[in-house]
A and B are shown apart, each in its own frame.
Chain A
């Protein structure tokens, strides 16, 4: 057997790949062979470590040294110093992992301390393109146990008892869904996986597929056994090329090892799996639209009932779960439903993966037990707001969710608490906003997204969201009237109650929740024609403070429309407001900070 004294784990998630981890891997390979270390040091490309902000990330075991922001030029030093001579290159380590000049291992860093990794347990630990590494970390043991020791009813009972709820956003009890599909009559049944992650800023499912594709495959086979299906489909967007590539490798390897295919573990059970690529439409994350798309039809939703559990793919009973939901299943089988139900809150069990983004220090992927407070997530795991700015709100649930303000930061995160606050769990996107974000503009941004993504089948969503967007644009341009706010509210309520699918029913949420918590900002835009955060361009004006102006004329030179007058050295400069296009170039150029934005 090959024997390596050291393992170099290089993050191959999408985040780190786009910041150059592939190059780094190549240079490592070259350096290792230069120093004749190829037989001693093993290079492993893993999935996402979670701390994308610090990427590209390289972790070297057995020390567990955590190198962040690794550049190609650093590789030579790491090889020479760390791998050859055994001196950890402290100045290249992730800052937080060096305390009192003592090097801490990755698991002791604040970002990881509060986390509990169930769905992400193998991400950043194993090589996702090597099935034996997954097997080494207990992979496919759950499937073996299910097939050889349990009846389908037992499996469903375990999932029900665990309290697992759908991680795609809805939060429907997973065990019940399995039971409905199991009970449904049909000569053929299907299992499907929703990997059509569409919320802006969300990348939980992508990371699971990239980092631990076998967990999803194993869980789908277990689900197939439980509900009586022998064919599965994973619906994943073509915009996730790395995830698709690794998933395909994983499926091929599983087939080669006989973990997919006929008579798995020598039993009667057979199961096969195929990938279906989506074109990246947001609506295809809606279950009925997704099933249509798998069938090769246009991705549009249809009314429910019948639910997919009764009539799904090709009118046959179909079980559809989200990637993260599946990723929990093997662990629940192996460790028992009691273990899983022991994590989390009364009604929300287990852990949840979040993609943390926006105005936050540790942008990245994290998994926390349900019931962790928003404050812990944002200020401890997330490391707080950059540049000493004040926290304003956190947006959860993407375009279907809403904002939560500082007053509610101590709310324990679970499905029901977030809904009570007018937001929702969603698939797990979490976007942090600081004092510089305009909440009206945020609402406009999300509406702009849903208008684009509306499939156009039902009128409330197709026409209503468009009208709402127009009103929001009017308000951000300073042309809003008090009646517009009322109109927004009534439109929002109509769209919510009369749209065909979840996309339309939740599209007004960003508007409703910002109206609920930031009514004053709407009022400022409408009544005072003022944007308190200084974001909405049409409502800003740039002014030169005469006392501070040193009459240097730099601003006048920079102004692209020539609307700044004055005499160099003699007369303070002034901006002609009518012509000003509010580009802000003068403010940036002024060396004396004599220009203010109001």
Chain B
């Protein structure tokens, strides 16, 4: 170790590996990952969300999975919980749609109405 800067570099790199281990208050993105969700392609959606969150360094966002949300025909389903906001349910998600949700909804705060369950029903 030659300098503090060197340590800081290692720290920043390593932090990305472990910062999942905190309790967080912020946004929760939940992906339905029961049999129906998985067979409809929820896994790549989940991984895309995880990757985007990492890439954008969104510290207060948790991507998590859940069981069957109940509307299996509309899987993959992604739900977004934000403190102080109504839950938003996105349906028939794909990797590209998920990336758009992350950018427009999570980062910029604009719900993409056309993807939500209300638009499909």
Contacts and interface: CB of A to CB of B under 8 A. Distances in A.
Given A85-B67, A86-B65, A258-B1, A1 B13 contact: yes
Given A7-B21, A265-B3, A138 B66 contact: no
B6 to A, nearest CB: 9
Contacts of B1: 140, 144, 257-259, 264-266
B91 interface: no
B38 interface: yes
Counting chain A CB atoms within 10 Å of each CB, the highest count among B1, B16, B20 belongs to: B1
Contact of A86 (B3, B18, B33, B51): B33
Interface in A221-278: 257-259, 264-266
B64 interface: yes
Nearest to A139: B11
A73 to B, nearest CB: 21
Given A85-B34, A132-B14, A144 B7 contact: yes
Given A1-B13, A259-B1, A136 B65 contact: no
Contacts of A107: 23
Interface string B56-89: 0000001111110000000000000000000000
A596 B41 CA distance: 67
B64 to A, nearest CB: 6
Contacts of A40: 47
Contacts of A61: 20-21
Given A64-B23, A107-B23, A258-B1, A87 B66 contact: yes
Given A40-B47, A265-B2, A86 B17 contact: no
Contacts of B97: none
A136 to B, nearest CB: 4
A115 interface: no
Contacts, number: 97
Interface in B1-44: 1-4, 7, 10-11, 13-21, 23-24, 30-35, 37-38
B54 interface: yes
A271 to B, nearest CB: 12
B65 A7 contact: no
- Chain B interface size band reads 35 or more
A132 B16 CA distance: 11
B66 to A, nearest CB: 5
A137 B18 contact: yes
A487 interface: no
Interface in A45-86: 61-64, 84-86
B11 A1 contact: no
B66 A86 contact: yes
B117 interface: no
B52 to A, nearest CB: 11
Interface in A378-430: none
A314 interface: no
Given A136-B14, A265-B3, A87 B34 contact: yes
A135 B34 contact: no
Given A85-B65, A86-B66, A86-B67, A148 B4 contact: yes
Contacts of A266: 1-3
A3 B37 CA distance: 22
B17 A132 contact: yes
Contact of A62 (B3, B11, B63): B63
Contacts of A62: 20, 24, 62-64
A4 interface: yes
Contacts of B95: none
B46 interface: yes
B50 interface: yes
B21 A3 contact: no
B1 to A, nearest CB: 4
A126 B14 CA distance: 11
Nearest to A59: B21
A99 to B, nearest CB: 16
Contact of A5 (B4, B19, B63, B66): B63
A373 interface: no
A266 B5 CA distance: 11
A148 B64 CA distance: 42
A139 to B, nearest CB: 8
Given A63-B64, A85-B38, A265-B4, A9 B21 contact: yes
A63 B3 CA distance: 36
A3 B7 CA distance: 22
A259 B1 CA distance: 6
Contacts of B17: 1-2, 4, 132-133, 136
A242 B65 CA distance: 35
Nearest to B10: A135
B5 to A, nearest CB: 10
Interface of A: 1-7, 9, 40, 61-64, 84-87, 105, 107, 125-126, 132-133, 135-141, 144-145, 148, 257-259, 264-266
Given A86-B65, A266-B2, 5 more contacts: A1-B16, A40-B47, A85-B37, A86-B33, A144-B7
5 contacts: A5-B46, A86-B32, A87-B67, A132-B10, A133-B17
Q: 3 nearest interchain CB pairs?
A: A86-B65, A136-B14, A87-B67
